[in-house]
Amino acid sequence: MDTTVEWAVVPSEIGPLLLAATDRGLVSVVFHADEAVRRTAVDRLAGQLGAEPVRSTSGRLSEPIRQLAEYFSGGRKAFDLPLDWTLTTGFNRQVLRELAEGVPFGAVVGYGDLAKRVGQPGAAQAVGAAMGANPLPVVVPCHRVVESDGGIGGFGGGLETKRTLLALEGVLPQPLF
């Protein structure tokens, strides 16, 4: 792949996020991006994309940073960003695209329901695996996928992060403290 990968770590209400973008768009969002997580994520991106990631200098990440800040402040309900889907393929990509396009702010969907939407009604567990492999959490809102029995389900960023995002979108009540 002949591309430049730029990255930056930005603060958010759920902790530092590492954002990475190629010339095609936002390619990765990583939770809890302290120094150790940052190093691991940048090394992983280098291997996955075949390009040495560099700290963002071109402004390529300015729009994703701005839109995420608006989202966390309550001023944005949908992201309007070019996305680079390179880090996901096949069924996972199909599920994540359906999630991004078909589950709006403030709504949730069950794993099984999302499987049905992509024509694979028996693939609820595979949908869960796709959520766990989502390279673009928050922007591709895997936090909006919940269990059919009303349980919150799992989340790669941790359940407290998922609760915070769902509370921000009005799905769950805001924590008391």
Which pLDDT tens digit goes with each residue over 51-74? 989 998 788 999 999 999 999 999
89 Cβ contact partners less than 8 Å away, ≥ 6 residues apart:
none
Cut 0.85: pTM above it: yes
Which pLDDT tens digit goes with each residue over 5-18? 999 999 999 999 99
Instruction: Give, to the nearest 10 degrees, the angle between helix 90-102 and helix 124-132.
Output: 80
Annotated catalytic residue 142 = yes
CA gap 140, 20 in Å, rounded: 14
Candidates 42, 142, 146, 165; catalytic one: 142
What is the pLDDT at residue 149?
Answer: 85
Angle (CA) 6-7-12 rounded to 5° is 150
